[in-house]
């Protein structure tokens, strides 16, 4: 048995059911394919910090594999072309990957399932619950969070499985060094990619600093590490498993303290879970202007307003600071994302999908369900019957940045990034995508 595992957003060995399924194989080829921009947003691509975090994560994963006599092969190219070629070249007998929602991702798997001459096993590993655990059929999945949360919080979160101590050897192949990213970690928020850094942050936030005990009060802070867990980049890339994070929170509650704040972190993981399953159900609908509701807003694409928003050059200093933080660090707080998204949709009247695509490019924690799901909520095209969210930006600035410290940190007379030069003709965005 010669197996191949195609890593995607499961960049870890612990609690990775797909990897655990290969321990008895004769050989195992571990592969990662660098992401390609979606066809409808070629202009967007993968931002410098997102790529940096990803490459650091891949190097870290390679190191974990080397410790087990393995290696990671990082290639460029589309899975539709590369994987059948690898299967033939290394006489692979089984291919595995970990499930991720997304319409293109589903189509790719359907294509591979047909095209590959060997079985393709798709494992679950990036959600708190398996599909059979859910108390709903997928077609009956609630469109709003509260009924989902009420049902989901009663479910048992299975414990994470250990990482295998040994793995089958790789086939005789050339494993090139993984090139580092062109950019370095931002000094303002140096979040390193890779499991080791994710574990350090988890331990620091939960056990060492006990910040989790005040999380409910501090989670809206605009700067990372000050208020919220900042675990999202490691969760989105799969350096940490969400079940592992949940179980560390439960352990803290058993061994130290359980309060509203410790519960609230789990509550937020349920939001992630909600958007994960909604993305599975909504599929291509998630990327349409009317979102999962089908409601059409009047917003269109205004290149000038969009360019100003991207560059942090709007009439709202707080939004400018947030957008510069995003481009420079690849991260923005939840409150910041809500304010920036509301500004693009409600003040600048731009089609929400352009903002979502820009976030997709830059966020080091980009996650298809959480990103497009949250944008839909703000735009009022998700399942929420209350409609969208319109934030009063001055009021938000007064509440969350009363002394202007955050805004000043990212201030400058001129935008810190050059204006994005956008030709509307490069954006063939339409209902078909």
- Decide if residue 3 touches ligand FAD (CB under 6 A): no
Helix (H, G, I), strand (E, B) or coil at 402: coil
How many helices and strands (H and E) does the chain possess? Answer: 17, 5
Residues 33 and 24: their CA atoms lie apart, in Å, by: 25
Nearer to ligand FAD, 83 or 341 (CB): 341
Candidates 104-112, 144-152, 189-197, 360-368: pick the segment binding ligand FAD (CB under 6 A): 360-368
Candidates 159-167, 182-190, 191-199, 366-374: pick the segment binding ligand FAD (CB under 6 A): 366-374
- Decide if residue 384 touches ligand FAD (CB under 6 A): no
- Binding residue (CB under 6 A) for ligand FAD from 5, 243, 337, 362: 337
Nearer to ligand FAD, 70 or 237 (CB): 237
Q: How far is the CB of 354 from ligand FAD (least distance, A)?
A: 12
- Decide if residue 342 touches ligand FAD (CB under 6 A): no
Question: Which phi and psi (to 5°) does residue 241 adopt?
Answer: -90, 145
Helix (H, G, I), strand (E, B) or coil at 326: helix
Report which of 335, 279, 344 is spatially closest to residue 99, judged by C-alpha positions: 279
Candidates 48-56, 82-90, 226-234, 296-304: pick the segment binding ligand FAD (CB under 6 A): 226-234
Instruction: Kindly give, in sequence order, each residue whose CB lies less than 8 Å from that of residue 110, ignoring residues fewer than 6 positions away.
Output: none
- Binding residue (CB under 6 A) for ligand FAD from 334, 347, 415, 416: 334
Question: Which phi and psi (to 5°) does residue 212 adopt?
Answer: -60, -25
- Decide if residue 316 touches ligand FAD (CB under 6 A): no
Candidates 195-203, 248-256, 329-337, 400-408: pick the segment binding ligand FAD (CB under 6 A): 329-337
Exposure string of 29-39, with b = 16+ CB inside 10 Å and e = fewer, is bbbbbeeeebe
Residues 215 and 264: their CA atoms lie apart, in Å, by: 7
- Decide if residue 129 touches ligand FAD (CB under 6 A): no
- Binding residue (CB under 6 A) for ligand FAD from 32, 275, 306, 406: 275
Nearer to ligand FAD, 9 or 27 (CB): 9
Report which of 350, 342, 329 is spatially closest to residue 374, judged by C-alpha positions: 342
Residues 61 and 114: their CA atoms lie apart, in Å, by: 30
- Decide if residue 359 touches ligand FAD (CB under 6 A): yes
- Binding residue (CB under 6 A) for ligand FAD from 15, 105, 268, 351: 268
- Binding residue (CB under 6 A) for ligand FAD from 211, 292, 371, 407: 371
Question: Which phi and psi (to 5°) does residue 134 adopt?
Answer: -70, 140
- Decide if residue 365 touches ligand FAD (CB under 6 A): yes
Distances (CA, A) of 342 to 119, 351, 389: 45, 11, 7
- Binding residue (CB under 6 A) for ligand FAD from 44, 48, 350, 363: 363
- Binding residue (CB under 6 A) for ligand FAD from 57, 64, 230, 325: 230
Assigned token pair, 349:
């009247």
- Binding residue (CB under 6 A) for ligand FAD from 87, 92, 269, 289: 269
Question: What single string gives the DSSP state of each residue in 210-221?
Answer: -GGGGHHHHTT-
Candidates 147-155, 193-201, 295-303, 333-341: pick the segment binding ligand FAD (CB under 6 A): 333-341
- Decide if residue 354 touches ligand FAD (CB under 6 A): no
Helix (H, G, I), strand (E, B) or coil at 29: strand
Cβ pair 145, 268 in contact under 8 A:
no
Assigned token pair, 305:
């307003």
Nearer to ligand FAD, 84 or 125 (CB): 125
Residues 299 and 38: their CA atoms lie apart, in Å, by: 22
- Decide if residue 272 touches ligand FAD (CB under 6 A): yes
Q: What residues line the site for ligand FAD (CB under 6 A)?
A: 219, 228-232, 235-236, 265, 268-269, 271-272, 275, 333-334, 337-338, 341, 359, 363, 365-367, 370-371, 374-375, 378
């Amino acid at each position: 048995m010669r197996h191949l595992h195609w890593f995607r957003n499961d960049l870890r060995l612990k609690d990775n059911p797909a990897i655990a399924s290969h321990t008895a194989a004769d050989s195992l080829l571990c592969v990662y394919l660098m992401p390609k921009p979606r066809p409808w947003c070629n202009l967007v691509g993968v931002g410098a910090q997102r790529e940096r975090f990803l490459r650091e994560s891949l190097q870290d994963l390679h190191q974990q594999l080397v410790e087990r006599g393995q290696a990671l092969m990082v290639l460029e190219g589309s899975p539709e072309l590369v994987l059948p070629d690898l299967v033939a070249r290394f006489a692979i007998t089984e291919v595995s990957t970990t499930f991720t929602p997304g319409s293109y991702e589903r189509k790719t798997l359907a294509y591979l399932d047909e095209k590959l001459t060997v079985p393709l096993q798709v494992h679950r590993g990036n959600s708190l619950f398996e599909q059979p655990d859910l108390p709903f059929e997928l077609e009956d999945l609630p469109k709003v969070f509260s009924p989902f949360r009420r049902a989901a919080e009663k479910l048992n979160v299975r414990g994470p499985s250990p990482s295998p101590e040994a793995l089958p050897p790789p086939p005789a192949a050339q494993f090139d060094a993984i090139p580092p990213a062109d950019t370095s970690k931002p000094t303002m928020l140096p979040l390193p990619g890779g499991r080791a850094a994710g574990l350090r942050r988890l331990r620091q936030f939960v056990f060492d600093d006990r910040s989790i005990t005040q999380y409910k009060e501090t989670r809206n802070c605009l700067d990372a590490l000050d208020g919220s867990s900042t675990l999202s980049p490691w969760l989105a890339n799969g350096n940490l498993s969400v079940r592992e994070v949940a179980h560390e929170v439960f352990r803290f509650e058993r061994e130290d303290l359980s309060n509203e704040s410790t519960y609230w972190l789990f509550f937020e993981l349920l939001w992630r879970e909600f958007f994960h399953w909604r993305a599975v159900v909504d599929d291509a609908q998630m990327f349409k202007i009317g979102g999962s509701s089908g409601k059409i807003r009047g917003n269109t694409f205004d290149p000038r307003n969009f360019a100003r928003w991207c560059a942090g050059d709007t009439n709202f200093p707080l939004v400018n600071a947030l957008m510069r933080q995003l481009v420079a660090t690849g991260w923005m707080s939840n409150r910041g994302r809500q304010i920036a998204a509301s500004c693009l949709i409600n003040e600048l009247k731009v089609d929400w999908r352009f903002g979502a695509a820009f976030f997709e490019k830059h966020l080091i924690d980009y996650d298809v369900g959480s990103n497009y799901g949250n944008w839909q909520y703000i735009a009022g095209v998700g399942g929420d019957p209350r409609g969208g969210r319109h934030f009063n930006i001055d009021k938000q600035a007064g509440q969350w940045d009363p002394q202007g410290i955050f805004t000043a940190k990212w201030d400058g007379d001129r935008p810190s990034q050059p204006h994005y030069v956008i030709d509307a003709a490069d954006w063939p965005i339409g209902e078909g995508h």
